[in-house]
A and B are shown apart, each in its own frame.
Chain A
Amino acid sequence: MNMFMASQFTNFQEFLQMGGYAGFVWAAWGIAFVAIVGLVIRAYQHEKFWHCEVEKLEAQLNQKRQAENENP
């Protein structure tokens, strides 16, 4: 069965051409896609970076306290 049966296009070529508006439709969708992916990656990296920093600092603090407890 043709997957484009119920769709507005008869084939994939026609879908890509977007009735002659390919440049406009795909540019707008492309910008939205890139912006979303960029935001998600940046937010994820930001969270991950500070998560690691907090863990590092907590470990350093614990080490220091342990050393102080052993040699007061």
Chain B
Amino acid sequence: MFNYLANPDRFMRFSKIATPIFAVLAVAILGYGSVWSLAYAPADYLQGQSARIMFVHVPPACVAFSAYSVMAGGSLVYLVWRHNLADVAANAASGIGATFTAVCLLSGSIWGRPTWGTWWVWDGRLTSMLVLLFIYLGYIALRSAISDKQKSASAGAILCLVGAVNIPIIRYSVVWWNTLHQPAAIIRKGGPSIHPEILQPLLFMGLGFMLLFGALLLLKMRALILQNRAAVLAHRLLDEIS
């Protein structure tokens, strides 16, 4: 499928249909999931209603990782095969990933205040997540600072692949270091440790956020492809005039 879509024209035709489908599904699932998680999921026995912040904390973290995976995958393919569409995917994922990382950090901070008694601690999980945000912002700044398209893509790809070392650090930070953050509760040995009545709406919201990520990624990729095409056309027009 990736081979088939590697052609920009075919990708544009595919994404023209796929983007609205993803978007409609995302809106429907996020709408239903929001009502479910805000009003119907049971409150936590210790944290009370403040545990409802989890539904806008865990799914954005999931999108932040997925966006980085897309970026790292795209960067690797670009460096090995010099495929422009892979670079477009990496570039498109960066802004989305940065935003969802920020949402995860902010909602986590707001959740930390009533739960831990503090907005922020410099521990493994929180700090490595902040580093992820800085890597995203660094990538975006680097891309916009280099005007040569190919140099910008290569430099970004290298930064992204070097920064990928942070991903396992985030994942295992709660195991390696003492932290206020709880250990993994969904993807863990022995199955999820969350009660199904809370886990189900959480997974549902996760699905909604991932569909939203899909729609946003396709839309951003379309915009970048059109931007590239406009640059080529403008160049051609200038060549023909001179």
A residues touching B (Cβ–Cβ < 8 Å)? 4, 6-9, 15, 18-21, 24-25, 27-29, 31-32, 35-36, 38-40, 43-44, 46-47, 49-51, 53-54, 57-58, 60-61, 64
Contact = CB atoms under 8 A, between A and B. Distances in A.
B8 interface: no
B77 interface: no
Interface of B: 23, 30, 34, 38-43, 48-50, 52-53, 56-57, 60, 95-96, 99-100, 102-103, 106-107, 110-111, 113-114, 212, 216, 219-220, 222-223, 226-227, 229-230, 233-234, 236-237, 240-241
A4 B117 CA distance: 31
A15 B35 CA distance: 11
Nearest to A61: B237
Given A43-B219, A57-B233, A32 B48 contact: no
Contacts of A9: 39
B103 A8 contact: no
A24 B223 contact: no
Nearest to A40: B216
Given A25-B52, A32-B56, 6 more contacts: A8-B49, A19-B43, A43-B216, A46-B220, A53-B226, A53-B227
Given A21-B50, A35-B102, A57 B96 contact: no
B233 A61 contact: yes
A40 B23 CA distance: 10
B41 to A, nearest CB: 7
B100 A35 contact: yes
